[in-house]
Amino acid sequence: MMMFDYLANPTRFRKITTAILPVAVLVSAIALAFGLYLAFLASPADYQQGETVRIMYIHVPAAWMAMMCYLLMALSAVFYLVWRHPLADIGARAMALPGAGFALITLLTGSFWGRPMWGTWWVWDARLTSMLILFFLYLGYMALADGFERAERGSKPASLLLLVGVINLPIIKFSVDWWNTLHQGSSVLRLDGPSIDPAMLKPLLIMALAMLGWFIAITILRMNTLIMRRRITNLESRKSWS
């Protein structure tokens, strides 16, 4: 909360984020190079799934990011609805497109993995359907947030949608335990520790780091764009009154 107040000053926000952005880009680039090396050259094929297991190294980190991004947006929505911080609203708006991108990557790469391993591109089971709903929540949020002449008018309904949609996150996470599904169960975030082989866990985590760096950089860039956009709106309305 304190940190949020501190960051809520636009000038300070600009200053801090301009310092973070190049670091995030650098971390992302290095992690991507290393992650690609691990994913394709330094990790073994799966004993059951063969080389298709390499799809996992983009599919799973993207799924993590899609869920984390939604959670961050929902938290921003709380900050916006309770404390009326415009920067919280701008943050959620900035994260929506990269979040939707991660959800789409998860769905598409999952399809390309399911086809050779399950024999189908798609099945309406709990895991896949709840992930599709997450993607639609992102699209719905963007449509609501940007659906008004004055951008701020969409903020409240869009934030409420985010809060309602949070219920979907535990459903995605636990869908593989609660329902029968083709989708394999968790092998990383388990109560009894990761069951996945370290040689496969490492590329997963490094690729997740690459995506996280990218996500932070893109969010900062988009937030600054939205701040500039609001300034333009203010300047123009002032002009039309004078």
The one-letter code for the residue type at 100 is A
**Which listed range, 12-20, 81-89, 111-119, 174-182, lies at the site for other proteins (CB under 8 A)?**
111-119
* Residue of the chain from 93, 127, 202, 222 that contacts other proteins (CB under 8 A): 222
Q: Which residues have C-beta within 8 Å of that of residue 222, sequence separation ≥ 6?
A: 93, 94, 95, 97, 98
Q: Which of 1, 3, 19, 41 is in the footprint of other proteins by CB under 8 A?
A: 41
Angstrom distance (rounded) from CA 56 to CA 160 = 33
In the shown chain, the binding pattern of residues 112 to 151 toward other proteins, with x for contact by CB under 8 A and - for none, equals xx-xx-----------------------------------
- Number of shown-chain residues binding other proteins (CB under 8 A): 36
Q: Measured between alpha carbons, how far is residue 227 from residues 223, 224, 231 in Å?
A: 6, 5, 6
Q: From the list 120, 184, 195, 225, which residue makes contact with other proteins (rule: CB under 8 A)?
A: 225
The smaller minimum CB distance to other proteins, of residues 165 and 213, is found at: 213
- In angstroms, rounded to a whole number, what is the distance separating the alpha carbons of residues 43 and 168? 33
Residue of the chain from 71, 97, 123, 196 that contacts other proteins (CB under 8 A)? 97
Nearest to other proteins of 59, 127 (CB atom): 59
Which residues are within 8 A (CB) of 93 and not within 5 positions of it... i.e. 6 or more apart? Answer: 145, 222, 226
Q: Mark the segment that binds other proteins (CB under 8 A) among 48-56, 74-82, 162-170, 193-201.
A: 48-56
List the one residue from 62, 69, 128, 145 that touches other proteins (CB under 8 A). 62
CB 75 within 8 A of CB 132: no
Q: Select 104 or 171, whichever has its Cβ closest to other proteins.
A: 104
Task: Write out the two tokens for 96.
Answer: 């929506």
235 binds other proteins (CB under 8 A): yes
Minimum separation from the CB atom of position 89 to other proteins (A): 17
By CB neighbour count within 10 A (0-12 exposed, 13-18 middle, 19+ buried), where does 167 fall? exposed
Compute the half-sphere exposure of residue 192: CA atoms within 13 Å on the CB side of its CA.
Answer: 4
Q: 227 and 10 in contact (C-beta within 8 Å)?
A: yes
50 sits near other proteins (criterion: CB under 8 A): yes
Residue ranges with strand state E in the chain:
none
Binding site for other proteins (CB under 8 A): 40-41, 45, 50-52, 54-55, 58-59, 62, 97-98, 101, 104-105, 108-109, 112-113, 115-116, 211, 214, 218, 221-222, 224-225, 228-229, 231-232, 235-236, 239
